Amino acid sequence: MKIVTDERCTGYDYPGHPERPERIGLTVEKLRAQTELPIEWASPGPAQDREILRAHTPEHLGRLDEPRDFDLDTPFFPGISGYARASVGAALEALRSARSGQVAFSLMRPPGHHAMRARAMGFCYLNNVAIAVLAALADGCKRVAVYDFDVHHGNGTEAILLNKPGAALFSIHQYPCYPGTGTRNLGKNCFNYPVPPETARIEYRHVLASALEQLKAFKPDLVAVSAGFDCYNHDPLAQMTLEAEDFYWLGQSFHHLGVPVFSALEGGYSRELPDLILAFLKGLDGQ
Ligand SMILES: [Zn+2]
C-alpha cells in the first residue's frame, strides 16, 4: 500500500472552515502509529501545466494566483496554486503507482471533485482525479472509470469528463445536498446515483453496489476512486449513514475488481476520519 502525502498540504488554514489541516495531520499520525497495514510513503510528483490544462482553462490556472476569494466556500490562500498543484501531483503519483501494480492512495488536500474546467468551488481548486484520468487516457489507458463515493456530487469531474471517449463517471451522492446537481445521468458516460438524506445504511449499500456493478459492466482497465468519507453517519456536512465497516467493504470491493485502482481523498470532516480511511485502506489491501 502506497500513501502519497506531503505535510506541506496542511500549511493553509481558514479558522472555522470544515476543510481543515487536521484532516490530514491526524490521519498521517494514525497511519504511522498502526502496524496492521504495511505502508510505503511517497511524495507527490510534479504536476506539469500541460497535464493540468487537459482539464482546466489557462485562465483558471492563472486565476489561482490572484488574491481574491473564489466563492464563500472556497477562499483564496497565499500559495494556494502551489498547494493545489501538489495535490494534483499526488494523484498523478498514485496513478503511476497503480499502473505499476501497487495500490495507492493520495492523502492530500485540497480535494478536487467540485473543481470545474474554469472555476474553483466547494473547497476544490484543481480537479485532481479528472486530471489523472485524462493523463491515463493520454498515456495508453483505453477505458478509465471514476467511482466517486463522496457524499457530494462530483460535478466538476462530470463536467470535465462528460462524453470524453474512454472515460466514465459513477457518482453516488446525497440529494438534495451541495452542489445541487447529479439528479440524472448526463451524456453517454456520466452516471449519477442520487440518494435522499437519512437513507438507511443497508439501502445506501445497495446503491453503492449497483453503481459498482455498472462500473464493472463498463470494463475499465483502470479505476480512479474519488474517496470522500463525508457519507459517514457522523459527518457534520451531510445526513448519510455509512459506518467504518462500509468503507472497509468499499475498499475490498475495489480490491476484488482485478484492475489497477488508485484513490484520492475528497471530503470527510468527522473526527473519525483517520479510522474511516484506515478501514478503507485495509479493504483495498485485501485484508
Ligand atoms: Zn464531499
> 183 near 191, Cβ under 8 Å?
no
pLDDT surpasses 90 at 221: yes
Query: Which listed residue (114, 152, 153, 173) is catalytic?
Result: 114
- 150 CA to middle of ligand 1, Å? 5
pLDDT of residue 7: 87
All three cell numbers of 201: 445504511
Which single residue is written with the C-alpha cell 472497509? 248
What percent of the chain shows pLDDT beyond 90? 99
> 280 near 147, Cβ under 8 Å?
no
Q: Which residues surround ligand 1, an ion (CB under 5 A)?
A: 150, 152, 228, 230, 267
- 153 CA to middle of ligand 1, Å? 8
Tell me: the pLDDT tens digits for 14-34? 999 999 999 999 999 999 999
pLDDT of residue 52: 98
Residue 60 annotated in active site = no
Mean pLDDT of the 169-173 span: 98
- 137 CA to middle of ligand 1, Å? 26
- 76 CA to middle of ligand 1, Å? 19
pLDDT surpasses 90 at 8: no
pLDDT tier, 4 (very low <50, low <70, confident <90, very high otherwise): very high
What is the C-alpha radius of gyration for the chain, rounded to an integer number of angstroms?
17
Mean pLDDT of the 135-145 span: 98
Mean pLDDT of the 166-193 span: 98
